[in-house]
Amino acid sequence: MDEYDEAQPGENTYVIDSEQAAELARLMQQDRILTTALGGLFPEGLQLPEDGRLLDLACGPGGWTLEVAFAYPHLEVIGVDISPPIVEYANAQAWSRRLANVHFRVMNVMEPLAFPDSSFDLINGRLMCGFMRPEAWPRLLAECRRLLKPGGIIRLTEMEPVLTTSPAFERFAALGAQAMKRAGLSFSPDGRHFGITPVLPRLVRRAGFVDVHLRPCAIEWSAGTPYHYPFFKDYLVFLDLIQPFMVRVGVATREELARLYQQAVAEMQQEEFCAIWNFLTVWGRRPEA
């Protein structure tokens, strides 16, 4: 049994040290890019009451959460994250922007959350597959059902690995998917992908939510497109920071990953480079009765 076979209570299972300055900056920038590329804060057209309350799960440095608070000053917005330094950073961001309707708290979303029943009109979660174990999803969704008001909405956005024409990037991505499987963070039967998008709608339905809808989104960031450079910068940092995790679970050596990294960086900048990143948003409603 290795260190990844069973998570300890309160353990941070995110595969990168999110408190590193480089990762903190990357997550803030990625939040801004993804919100735009996915179609906005609520591209599904969800409506919230004037005095509504919103919870953002595993909010990180709070990029999306802060944008919602700014755009909807009538809402009370709460973000929770497992990292005290990141929560402190997010609260400082809220203070510096003079956003009185948002605050952040330290909580682990894989454990019961310290809110009363029926506290929120909408609960949001985005890209949680980087730390969520398969067995933790039903518990979290049951907790979300408890926390939502009758008629309240759960909204989750997840992803699968990027598809590209770069041989080095593809090899790196394949090793990354295998690492997630070894770490117990994948629904994939063979570790070729993350496997979260096929199962997410069923997980939401089995948690007792109704009127479940799906919204797929494919973001192209091929060379010459508007999103190429922003996502190139994102992966320039991510592929560097993910390497210690991949070495730790034994899918590759430092030397192999260093070579792949240099090759992938070069290939992502070639004129013929093509890339598609696929996302799926699933939302459903807690029954009124």
Asked whether the beta carbons of 69 and 41 are under 8 A apart, the reply is no
Residues counted in the chain:
289
pLDDT at residue number 10? 56
Buried b vs exposed e over 73-107: b needs ≥16 C-beta within 10 Å? eebbbbbbbbbeebbebbbebbeeeebebbbbbeb
pTM to 2 decimals?
0.93
Predicted local distance difference test score (pLDDT) of residue 92:
96
Assess contact for 158 and 196: CB atoms under 8 A: yes
* Non-local CB neighbours of 269 within 8 Å, separated by 6+ positions: 223, 232
CATH superfamily of 21-285: Vaccinia Virus protein VP39 (3.40.50.150)
Structure tokens at 99: 């956003």
Identify which of 92, 101, 113 has the alpha carbon closest to the alpha carbon of residue 67. 101
Say how far apart CA 148 and CA 84 lie, in whole Å.
25
Which amino acid makes up residue 172?
F
Query: Rounded distance, CA 162 to CA 218, Å?
Result: 10
Based on its alpha-carbon atoms, the radius of gyration of the chain, rounded to whole angstroms, reads: 19
Distances (CA, A) of 25 to 31, 97, 131, 176, 200: 10, 17, 19, 22, 29
Q: For tokens 């598809």, what's the residue?
A: 163
Q: What is the pLDDT of residues 179-189, one digit of tens each?
A: 999 999 999 99
Supply the pLDDT for residue 12: 75
Write the single-letter amino acid at 20.
Q
Element (H, E) at 164: strand 163-164
Q: How many other C-beta atoms are found inside a 10 Å radius of the C-beta of residue 157?
A: 21
pLDDT tens by residue, the chain, 289 residues: 333 444 444 567 888 887 888 999 999 999 999 999 999 999 999 888 889 999 999 999 999 999 999 999 999 999 999 999 999 999 999 999 999 999 999 999 999 999 999 999 999 999 999 999 999 999 999 999 999 999 999 999 999 999 999 999 999 999 999 999 999 999 999 999 999 999 999 999 999 999 999 999 999 999 999 999 999 999 999 999 999 999 999 999 999 999 999 999 999 999 999 999 999 999 999 999 7
What six digits make up the tokens of 261?
């990294």
C-alpha 222/C-alpha 225 separation (Å) is 6
